[in-house]
Amino acid sequence: MTLIGEDSAQIAAAKRELVRIGVGHVRGAANGDIDKLAGASPLRSYRVADFTTLAAEIDRDTVTILDVRRDDEFQESHPPKAVNIPVHELSGRLNELPAGEVWVHCASGYRASVAASILDSHDRVAVLVDDEFTTAEKLGLTR
């Protein structure tokens, strides 16, 4: 993983947050204008949605829900059909995910954004659920 930020303080803060969720291996970092840093390489992105949007899409057969929270968080409550792979294990367990769209969530969106980037870097179709998990609970998306 390579971090890109506006300045070195932002990168340092991101490294601290990554360590807190079990991601300690950052290959590099850069700061500055993203277009200049990318050079000739095309920039990539993935879709961002919320739990309300997921509720409308959850019954499609091609949708996989990836819960990247810790095992104990998953056991407490999770969306139906969700696959639990903690974010720090994802790179080594990608083969456990079926083909198709992978909607990835966590408790607040931070771990999910890391996971969505990992999925995207492996040419998977990732949809980041950038929302508080309490929203999923309020929508009745959990069991």
The series of mean pLDDT values per 10 residues for the chain, 143 residues long, is 85 88 78 80 87 93 94 95 95 95 93 93 95 93 89
Q: Considering the entire predicted model, what is its pTM?
A: 0.76
Q: Cβ contacts of residue 29 below 8 Å, gap of 6+?
A: 2, 3, 4, 5, 11, 15
Q: What is the pLDDT of residue 72?
A: 96
pLDDT for position 19: 85
Contact 114, 14 (CB under 8 A): no
What is the predicted pLDDT for the residue at 36?
A: 82
Q: Is the dihedral of CA 120, 126, 131, 137 positive or negative?
A: negative
> All domains of the chain, ordered by start, with CATH?
2-38 (no CATH), 47-138 (3.40.250.10)
Which of 14, 32, 18 is closest to 111 using CA atoms? Answer: 18
Specify the DSSP element, H or E, that contains 129: strand 126-129
Contact 83, 97 (CB under 8 A): yes
